[in-house]
Amino acid sequence: RAGAGDLNAETLTTTSLPALRAFLEGESHYRRGRFAEAVQSFERAVAEDTSFAIALVRLSEAYGWLESQTSERMREYGERAEAHLDRLSPRYQFIMEGWSALNRGTADGVDALKEAVQKYPDDPEAWFLLAETYIHVGGATYGTI
């Protein structure tokens, strides 16, 4: 789930330097598969800035890897991220729509993810999440990409 395709000033929408530092530390842990450490860092980031949307997304994802796809904390932070969707870049809005649907165990995010991979064909995170959705919610019935 880790993709750096869109982590830029537009995406990193916080005015809190401590939140940004904690987020970047969390990204480093996340990319190395150290999800417990990533969770701690992302939790510090969202404690510093409760509307730091990309940190909420990553915290939700990290809990998904650390606990399971049915983790209550994964869902909680995913819902909090959805509440700040307008603070995400267009690319991450597509990804968040797909991620939220996957968290609910539904395929309603497939169209958003298909659009994401069409608009951002070099984005591994969008492709990965589309594949995850197909695997976990029976995507073989959803046609071609």
CA 92 – CA 54 distance, rounded (Å): 8
Token code pair at residue 54: 């990309």
Identify the CATH assignment for 17-142 out of 3.40.50.2000, 3.30.420.40, 3.40.1390.20, 1.25.40.10: 1.25.40.10
**Sign of torsion over alpha carbons 7, 9, 12, 18:** positive
CA 36 – CA 115 distance, rounded (Å): 32
Indicate the length of the chain as a whole number.
145
Q: What confidence tens digit (pLDDT) does each residue in 49-104 have?
A: 999 999 998 999 999 889 987 788 988 998 898 888 888 888 888 888 888 887 77
- Give the best-scoring range by mean pLDDT among 31-35, 78-82, 84-88, 129-133: 31-35
Model confidence band, residue 1 (pLDDT cutoffs 50, 70, 90):
very low
pTM: 0.79
